[in-house]
Chains A and B, each alone.
Chain A
C-alpha cells in the first residue's frame, strides 16, 4: 500500500537522521580524542619533482605499493602489496615479467662508502621474494632472490643465480651464473641444476598470471565490488565446518569486511 510504504520510508529517514545527529553528539563528547576518518591520500605512483615513474600498462601495481621517483617497470611485471620502490636519488629499472613480491623494498644508493653511485637494475623474469631489500644492485634476467634477502650496494647477480631466503649479500659481491648463495654474510652454497633454473622462468610466468588475477580484482570500481558482495551473500551456504542452519549460517562467521570497508 502506498501510504504505508511511504510511512515506513519517512520513519526510516527520521531514524537515520537521528543516528547521524547522535554520531555528531558522540564526536563532540569525545572532544580532543575524536578521530576523523580521512580519505586515503596514498599514491601508488608518485613523482618527485621531475622524476616520474614510467610503468607499463600491463604491469600490476598493487594499490598499497609505493613507486616513487625515477622507476621504470616493464610489461607483464608485478609489484605486489606493500612494496616500496624509491627511485628518488637515482633510477630503478625493472624488466618485463619480473615480480617484486609483497613488502619488498627497492632503493637506490645516492652516496656510498666507495663513492660509486649506483642505480638499481632488475632484469626480465626475475623473482624477488617477499620482504627483500634491494639497494643499488644489479640483477640479471631469470634470477631468483629468496624471501627476506638483503642485497646491499653494488651487488651483481648474474643470470639464473639464486639468493637463498634470509641471505645478506654484502657490498660489491658478484654472484656468478647458476649458483646458490645464502647465509649472513652470503656464501656460496651449491650449484643449481638445470631443472631448478628452468623452474625460475616458470615461476616468473606463474606469477605474471597470478598478478593478472589480482590486478583485475583490485581495479574493480566501488559499484562492482558492492554488487559482488551482495551476490556472495545471496548465494552463500554454510561451510562444512558449521551446521548449516539456514538463517544463522551468515552470523556464525560474519564477514567483517562488509561493515568496515
Chain B
C-alpha cells in the first residue's frame, strides 16, 4: 500500500514538473524565479525563519504603534473582523464577519448605530484629492451593505450604501441618501441629500420619498437589534484556554 502511494506520488510530481516546464516557455517575466519554482519542494519545509502563526489565528484588534482600535462596550464586532490602526467603533454599531477596517494610514470611525456588513473593506488613504479630510468617517445610522469597499470617504448620517458598492477617495454621501447595490463612486463625487443614485459610475436615479427617508434609520436600528442576538452568543471572556489545556494533556505536555 505504501509503495503504491510512493509510486503514485513520484508519478504525480514528474507529471507536475513536466506541466510546469511546458507552461513556463511563453512567460516573459521572472523566468529565473519560475525555473526555481518548477523544482517544487517535495515536502512541506516551512522556511525555518518563517513566522509560524499560533493557535490564536488572526487577532481581531491590531494595534499599530501607539494607535489602538477602540470598540464601544455595546458594539458588536464579529471575531472574524480585523481592526487595525486608528479605528473607532462607536456605541450600538456592528461590524459583521469578514470585514477589514484598516486605519493604518488615516482614521476610520463607525458612528452610532451604524453597521458595516459582511466582508467590507474600509481603508483610508494618506491624503484625499478633494479638500475633505482623508479619514473614512461613517456617521450615525448608516447601513453599509455587504462586500462594499470604502476608501477615504465621508458618509453623513442616515444613509444606506448598497451591497458591493465602491466608494473611492474623497467621496461624500450626504445625509439621508441611498446608494444602490453595485454602484461605484469615482473619487471626489458627492451624492446630494435625499437622493437615490446607482450605477458604475454612480448617476442620479430619483429623489427619495419621505416614507423611504424615514425607513433609513429604521433599517439601521433593525440591524442593530439583529446584532444584539449575535452579540449575546459570545461570553465576555474567551474559554479557549480549556481547549488548550485539553490539547496539551492529549499531547502529554504538563499543564
Residues of A within 8 A of B (CB): 23, 35-40, 42-45, 47, 49-52, 54-55, 57, 62-64, 70, 72, 74, 80-82, 90-91, 93, 95, 101-103, 119, 121, 123-124, 129-131, 138, 140-141, 147-148, 165-166, 183-184, 206, 210, 213-215, 217-219, 221-222, 225, 228, 232, 253-257, 259-261
Contact among B33, B50, B57, B98 for A103, CB-based, below 8 A:
B98
Determine the chain A residues whose CB is within 8 A of the CB of B240 once the complex forms. 37-39
Instruction: Determine the distance from Cα of A105 to Cα of B136 in the docked complex, in whole angstroms.
Output: 24
Q: Is B214 an interface residue (CB 8 A)?
A: no
- Which of B28, B57, B237 has the largest count of A CB atoms less than 10 A from its CB? B57
Q: Given A50-B16, A93-B33, A257-B71, A57–B50 Cβ distance below 8 Å?
A: yes
Contact call A166/B40, Cβ cutoff below 8 A: no
Query: Ordered nearest first, which 9 A-B pairs have the shortest CB separation?
Result: A40-B57, A64-B58, A257-B61, A166-B184, A130-B121, A63-B58, A102-B100, A256-B71, A39-B55
20 intermolecular pairs with C-beta atoms under 8 Å apart: A37-B239, A37-B243, A52-B44, A57-B47, A62-B82, A72-B36, A80-B102, A82-B82, A82-B100, A90-B23, A124-B30, A165-B184, A183-B200, A217-B84, A219-B51, A222-B54, A256-B71, A256-B75, A257-B69, A260-B60
B40→A52 contact, CB < 8 A:
yes
**A166 and B243 within 8 A (CB):** no
CB pair B237 A259 closer than 8 Å: yes
Cα distance, A46 to B4, chains bound together (Å): 25
Binding site for A on B (CB under 8 A): 9, 12-13, 16, 20, 23, 27-30, 33-34, 36-37, 40-44, 46-47, 49-51, 53-65, 68-73, 75, 77, 79-80, 82, 84, 98, 100, 102, 104-105, 119, 121, 123, 126, 147, 149, 151, 164, 166, 168, 184, 186, 200, 233-234, 236-240, 242-244, 247
Are A210's CB and B147's CB within 8 A?
no
Say whether, besides A50-B12, A57-B49, A260-B236, A228 and B63 are in contact (CB < 8 Å). yes
Whether A166 pairs with B239 at a CB distance below 8 angstroms is: no
In angstroms, Cα B77 to Cα A221, docked, is 23
Q: Select one of A74, A141, A148, A210 contacting B105, CB under 8 A.
A: A210
Smallest Cβ-Cβ distance to B241: which chain A residue: A37
Majority secondary structure, B binding face = loop
Query: Which residues of chain B are within 8 angstroms of A148 by Cβ–Cβ distance?
Result: 149, 164, 166, 184
Partner of B121, one of A64, A91, A103, A166: A103
Q: Which residues on the A side are within 8 Å of B57 (C-beta)? A: 40, 42, 63-64
**Which residues from chain A contact B36 at a C-beta distance below 8 Å?**
72
| Closest beta carbon of chain B to A198's beta carbon, Å | 16
Interface-central residue, B43, B73, B238, by most chain A CB under 10 Å? B73
Complex contacts, B42 vs chain A, CB 8 Å: 50
**CB pair A166 B200 closer than 8 Å:** yes
Report the minimal beta-carbon distance from B121 to chain A, rounded to whole angstroms. 4
Since A49-B12, A54-B41, A119-B23 are in contact, a sample of 20 more A-B pairs with Cβ atoms closer than 8 Å, ordered by chain A residue number, is: A37-B243, A39-B247, A52-B40, A52-B41, A70-B40, A74-B30, A80-B100, A102-B82, A102-B102, A121-B29, A123-B29, A130-B121, A130-B149, A131-B121, A166-B184, A183-B200, A184-B200, A253-B70, A254-B72, A257-B61
Chain A nearest CB from B230 CB (Å) reads: 13
Q: A70-B40, A228-B63 are in contact. Are A260 and B238 (CB under 8 A)?
A: yes
Task: For B243, give its contact among A39, A55, A129, A165 (CB under 8 Å).
Answer: A39
Check A256–B56 contact: CB distance below 8 A.
Answer: no
Question: Once the chains are docked, how many angstroms separate the CA of A99 from the CA of B206?
Answer: 39
In the assembled complex, the Cα of A132 lies from the Cα of B84 at a distance in Å of 20
Q: Are A39 and B61 in contact (CB under 8 A)?
A: no
Q: Which residue of B lies closest to A43 (CB)?
A: B53
Contact (Cβ within 8 A) A131 B238: no
Residues of A within 8 A of B72 (CB): 253-254, 256
